[in-house]
């Protein structure tokens, strides 16, 4: 069992997707790679990747999701993944950066999950997020 860090990008074009997950680099720099499983997808991810992620979600004890979104016409497989996460909502914490109207409606089921649980792993995640998105 593990904590899953999921990084989701929603972009207008596949050319705008960053193919380096910023969470990977920070986790390895901090020496935390044994504590977390990281995964990243975007609204253009293929079904094989989404199916692998579904397995990772089912095996996770805690899930922290960072969604980096801009208004885009199509969520692709992201909508399906968010629906799966909703089934495990008690284990899921989500942080949305940017905005996407349809995605925000999907995420409304997580409104009670806006604050990060005060556990050791979640504090590490907040440190990571502060490095990526300084306040």
Label residue 96 by pLDDT band (50, 70, 90).
confident
Give the pLDDT score at 127. 74
Tokens in use for 32? 């935390």
Please list, in sequence order, all residues whose beta carbon lies within 8 angstroms of the beta carbon of residue 53, skipping any fewer than 6 positions away.
Answer: 6, 39, 41, 81
Give the pLDDT score at 78. 94
| pLDDT, mean over the chain | 82
Residues facing residue 28 across a β-bridge: none
DSSP character at residue 23: H
Label residue 106 by pLDDT band (50, 70, 90).
confident
CB 6 within 8 A of CB 66: yes
Question: Which contacts (CB < 8 Å, 24+ apart) does range 86-91 have?
Answer: 86/110, 88/57, 88/60, 88/63, 89/113, 91/60, 91/61, 91/62, 91/63
**Cα atoms in the Cβ-side hemisphere of radius 13 Å centred on 85:** 27
């Amino acid at each position: 069992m593990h904590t899953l860090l999921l990084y989701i990008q929603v972009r207008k074009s596949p050319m705008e997707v960053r193919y380096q997950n910023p969470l990977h680099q920070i986790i390895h720099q901090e020496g935390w790679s044994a504590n977390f499983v990281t995964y990243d997808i975007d609204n253009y991810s293929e079904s094989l990747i989404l199916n692998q992620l579904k397995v990772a979600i089912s095996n996770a004890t805690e899930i922290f999701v960072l969604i980096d979104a801009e208004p885009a016409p199509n969520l692709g497989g992201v909508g399906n993944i968010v629906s799966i996460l909703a089934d495990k909502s008690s284990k899921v914490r989500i942080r949305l950066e940017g905005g996407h109207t349809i995605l925000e409606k999907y995420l409304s089921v997580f409104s009670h999950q806006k604050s990060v649980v005060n556990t050791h792993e979640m504090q590490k995640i907040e440190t990571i997020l502060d490095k990526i998105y300084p306040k």
